[in-house]
Amino acid sequence: MTHADIAHRFVTARKTAAALVEYPGDIPEAMADSYRIQDAALDAWHQPLVGWKIARIHPDFQARHGERMAGPIFANTLKDYTGEELVYPVFTGGFAAVEAEFVLRIDHDADPEKTEYSEEEALRLCDALFAGVEVAGSPFPKINELGPTVTASDFGNNFGEILGPKLLEIDSDTTLDTVSPDALKNFKSKTEIDGQIVGEGGLFVMPGGPFQALAWLAGHLAQRGRPLKRGQLVSTGQTTGVHSIAAGQTSVITFSGIKEAQIRLRVEPLTTRHTEIA
């Protein structure tokens, strides 16, 4: 089965709200194969790309596959949080989780030829930091159990992004000395599911912090011929853990520190009536 065949199976499952009992082909051996599958699915999905999520690869796999992976965020699964509880669909028989994340917005198009970035250069790509929630999801329930090559191959296990309030403006006067880590270490996050606290953390839970992660992503995407674009959003990695959630459950994600914000959502079963999979 080719990379395109596997991508087609994932895209079809997402469009028809159908779970996949088994991985739809041979498990990719290398991340390069995973991104070939992801790129084929991107080309077949026919939805505007509005950003990217970054995830940290489990330490057990980093020697072989590197420290981070990326997945796309699409316009039809991006929701602006306006203060009222949001409803998100999740795959019945698939995988679903919520992740408290901090989101960077890209200020200008990245140089398509530039494949290496310092943290300072990554900072210069941004104009704002937001509170956010990644709704992870896949039709394949073992998406996170079989290693990072499987996770990356299905859109990096992304099913949507909630963009919360702006927490910080980033302009030409902003430097790493003024935003990282001292000024931003006060940004904290907490995730609750059905009233129970399931995780707590902050902006620098992920090793290296958000700008090191963005530096990696900018170079990675340029190498794939998909450089960052003005206005795109980058979800920089989970800060309280990856927390499975099922239809009928409710989650509240709270951000505190320099500014405070709260995002509330509940999940319901995914069906073909949802525009998110159109």
Instruction: For 183-209, write each residue's pLDDT tens digit.
Output: 667 889 999 999 999 999 988 888 888
pLDDT at 34: 98
Q: In whole angstroms, give the CA distance from residue 108 to residue 162.
A: 22
pLDDT at 205: 81
pLDDT at 151: 98
pLDDT at 271: 76
Phi/psi for 132 (5° steps) reads -160, 165
Dihedral angle of Cα 128, 218, 70, 193, to the nearest 10 degrees: -20
pLDDT at 112: 96
pLDDT at 173: 76
Q: In whole angstroms, give the CA distance from residue 217 to residue 81.
A: 25
CB of 131 within 8 A of CB of 103? yes
pLDDT at 150: 97
Q: In whole angstroms, give the CA distance from residue 191 to residue 241.
A: 9
- Label residue 104 exposed, middle or buried (CB < 10 Å: 0-12, 13-18, 19+): buried
For the chain, domain boundaries: 3-277
Residue whose tokens read 């498990």: 27
Which residues of the chain, if any, have pLDDT below 70? 179-184, 272-278
Token pair of 264, please? Answer: 């509330």
Phi/psi for 182 (5° steps) reads -60, -45
Q: State the DSSP H helix or E strand holding residue 193, giving kind and residue range, or none if neither.
A: strand 188-193
3-state helix, strand, coil split of the chain in percent (to 5) is 25, 35, 40
The CATH homologous superfamily of the domain defined by 3-277: Fumarylacetoacetase-like, C-terminal domain (3.90.850.10)
Residue 221 is which amino acid? Answer: L
DSSP state of 176: H
Q: In whole angstroms, give the CA distance from residue 245 to residue 35.
A: 27
pLDDT at 182: 59
DSSP letters, 120-173, are HHHHTTEEEEEEEEEEEEESSTTTTTS-HHHHHHTGGGEEEEEEEEEEEE--TT
pTM for this predicted structure = 0.93
